[in-house]
Amino acid sequence: MIRRTGPVRPDWERTIEEQGLGFHRYVAQGDDGRPYWDESAYYSFTMAEVLGLEDTVTELHRMCLNAVDHVVREGRFGDYGIPERWWEPIAESWRRRDRHLYGRFDLCYDGRSPAKLLEYNADTPTSLVESAVVQWFWKEDTHPRADQWNSLHEALIDRWRELLPSGGLLHLAYSGADETGEDALTVGYMADVAAQAGLEVELLTMEDIGSDGHAFYDLAERRIEGLFKLYPWEWIVREPFGPLAVARQPKEPWVEPLWKMLLSNKALLAILWELYPGHPNLLPAYFDGPREMTAYAVKPLLGREGASMRLVQPHEVVETPGGYGAEGHVFQQLCPLPDFDGWRPVLGAWVVGDEPAGLGIRETRGLITGDTASFVPHLIED
């Protein structure tokens, strides 16, 4: 794993905007005024490193599904801060094995030591377009003979065919409150791959979804029988329409399924460490405090984009602002991100269905990867 630098393509802004990544102009600027997409740097991997990461993702995914089964069997929903009224619907969703689409593992990796799981974005992961499309075309333009860990596009098409083999109408929704445009971009791309899988697609915002108290409808009063929603379940169950959304799941499923609440919550980190203590791809994590750890991260169970975190080290404490934490915290051993010429990458390793499918990298100068971190592409070069 090597960080390399090089020239950017002429008129790269227009190029990536034509490929769909328009919001890079509007999000907060990263370190040193960097744009969100930065192709002046990239990470180079060997095929052996990528094959090892694929094995890690496969193993982590298996362990996560076992963790869901454990939580359901042992009734440990309280560790997640989930209100009791939702425990049985989540359990039923898992027992039915409601079909899932995708997720993104965030890993700490330096190319030498085993990759360590930082967290799992299993319900509403973003950075999909830049991972699946933009960095692929960058590779084709600049390093056409190199390879890339990137089968996301094809894997998503195949997965939609598995989820809805008979075709039909799929609604896809995002929150109109998102000001960056990232959610709309992600849902638009998901609509594109679903259409390539043979589905009829209809985009709308969550705010545009209506209900008669028995079912959900779009603005044209068409019944919503299947929905891809880039809107987390922990928000949905707090909405007035939450009970109906949960009740309709067996017959009119929403993707991701309800049981993903047990994977998108950082309580998963402590559950995994209980089930697999000492596993080389896990970090010690606890519910009740740091225990023996002298350097650790305090993470809110439902935090996002590095918000409301506290990094504790013997010589300093670093905190980030945010409104998360009322639901509880998990204490995870600090895994300092590796330093590549002053930049610290987090590897976002994608899984589609039950298979590893690609990689996206975000980097910053700090120890916490927040919403101002830049996305940089990667190659496989042997």
pLDDT band at 20 (very low <50, low <70, confident <90, very high): confident
Distance CA 171, CA 300 (A): 31
Q: Where are the alpha helices (DSSP H) in 264-334?
A: 267-275
**Dihedral-angle region of residue 32 (phi above 0 means left; psi in -120 to 50 means alpha; beta otherwise):** left
Q: What is the per-residue pLDDT for 9?
A: 95
pLDDT band at 28 (very low <50, low <70, confident <90, very high): very low
- Phi and psi torsions of 131, nearest 5°: -75, -45
Q: What is the per-residue pLDDT for 21?
A: 86
User: Which of 221, 247, 179 lies closest to 204, judged by CA?
Assistant: 221
- Cβ atoms of 212 and 156 closer than 8 Å: no
Q: What is the per-residue pLDDT for 180?
A: 77
Q: What is the per-residue pLDDT for 24?
A: 58
Distance CA 316, CA 205 (A): 43
Distance CA 187, CA 236 (A): 17
pLDDT tens across 326-362, in order?
Answer: 889 999 999 999 999 999 999 999 999 999 999 999 9
Q: What is the per-residue pLDDT for 321?
A: 81
* In the chain, % of residues over pLDDT 70: 97
- Count of H-run helices and E-run strands, the chain: 10, 19
pLDDT at 276 over 90: yes
Cα dihedral angle (344, 350, 354, 357), rounded to 10 degrees?
A: -120
Amino acid at 277: P
Q: What is the per-residue pLDDT for 325?
A: 78
Q: What is the per-residue pLDDT for 25?
A: 55
Strand partners, 364: 344
Q: All domains of the chain, ordered by start, with CATH? A: 1-148+264-382 (no CATH), 164-255 (3.40.50)
- Span 296-306, mean pLDDT? 88
pTM assigned to the model:
0.95
Sorted by sequence, the CB contacts under 8 Å of residue 150 that are 6+ apart come out as 131, 132, 135, 136, 357, 358, 359
pLDDT at 97 over 90: yes
Q: Which of 161-175, 189-203, 357-371 has the lowest mean pLDDT?
A: 357-371
pLDDT band at 74 (very low <50, low <70, confident <90, very high): very high
pLDDT band at 30 (very low <50, low <70, confident <90, very high): low
Distance CA 203, CA 224 (A): 11
- Phi and psi torsions of 286, nearest 5°: -140, 155
Residue environment code for 46-69, b if the CB has 16+ CB neighbours within 10 A, otherwise e: eeebbebbbebbeebbebbbebbe
Residue position matching structure tokens 């809110």: 300
pLDDT tens across 138-169, in order?
Answer: 999 999 999 999 999 999 999 999 999 888 89
pLDDT tens across 32-64, in order?
Answer: 678 889 999 999 999 999 999 999 999 999 999
Residue 250 burial (CB < 10 Å; 0-12/13-18/19+)? exposed
Q: What is the per-residue pLDDT for 313?
A: 92
Q: What is the per-residue pLDDT for 142?
A: 97
| Count of beta carbons in the 10 Å neighbourhood of residue 155 | 21
pLDDT averaged over the chain? Answer: 93
